[in-house]
Every structure is written in C-alpha cells, then in structure tokens.
Homo-oligomer: A and B are copies of this chain.
C-alpha cells in the first residue's frame, strides 16, 4: 500500500515530470538570456537588484539578504562579474575595506537591454502556457513552501 515510505508509479512519474519540466524551463530561460544578452541568470539577478536601488550601490550582506542567497555565493558571483566589468567593488568606507558594490555603466547598459528580453522570455515560456488554475496552484504551492522551509531553517527545528 502507499504508505509514507513509498510512492506509487503515478507519483514517481508526476515527480519526475515536474522536476524535469522545471529544469527544462530554468535551463531555457538561462540559455536565452545568455545567448541574446550575454549574461547569466545569476548575473541578471544581481544586476536587477543593484539597479533597483537609488545610487546603484549596495553592501554584500544586503544583496545576499535581498536575493535570499548565501553571502559566499554572492561573493563568488561578484568576483566573476567584476572580472567581466559589469560592476566594481569599491573601497567606499574608511581605510581599505571594500564595503560597496557599484554598477558600472557597462553593467547598467546590460541590464537595461536584458530586462525586456527576459520579460518576453518568461511570458512566452511561463505565463503564456499557464492556465489560471495552473498559475493558482503553482502560486499557492510556492508561497506555502517558501514559508514552510524558511521558517523551518530559522527555527531550531524538531532536532
């Protein structure tokens, strides 16, 4: 019988299809962004976040919090992006500590161009292929899961 420790073939198939569809979707979005605008999804996320802030400057920790990323992930990403000239890590603060991240003109231009294309891709691959019921189901599931998992990780948990 279908107890907690096993899944029926239908359930496996469902899970499999779901995960595969998800991977295909994310991959395609990423690929289009890379091909048409020369930036990756991770880079796009950072650029957009930075661009949405008054003076295009932020601290690493802010950025990490805002994106829900680990700070080491942000640091690595920034290193790669700095190498490509999309942004600069400045010694803003006092005496040699790099405390600021600033968008370069090149980075700013890249986002501007990418945003519209990215929106178009998402609309084409996601929204145009979603019925209202599917969107509702996915939306409800997403917010529920985010709440569930982020709450679980911030609490001590059931040891």
Binding site for B on A (CB under 8 A): 4-7, 11, 14-15, 17-22, 24-26, 28, 68, 116-117, 119-120, 122-127, 129-131, 133-146, 148-150
Contacts and interface: CB of A to CB of B under 8 A. Distances in A.
Nearest to A19: B26
Contacts of A146: 17, 20-21, 24
A18 B20 CA distance: 15
Given A14-B135, A24-B146, 11 more contacts: A4-B120, A5-B120, A14-B139, A15-B122, A17-B142, A18-B139, A20-B68, A21-B142, A22-B26, A25-B145, A134-B137
A14, A68, A122, most chain B CB atoms within 10 A? A14
A145 B133 contact: no
7 contacts: A4-B119, A4-B123, A7-B122, A7-B123, A14-B135, A17-B142, A20-B68
Indicate how many identical chains form the complex: 2
A98 to B, nearest CB: 27
Contacts of A20: 68, 142, 146
A139 to B, nearest CB: 5
A76 to B, nearest CB: 17
A125 B137 contact: no
A134 B140 contact: yes
Given A5-B120, A149-B24, A138 B134 contact: yes
Contact of A138 (B124, B129, B141): B141
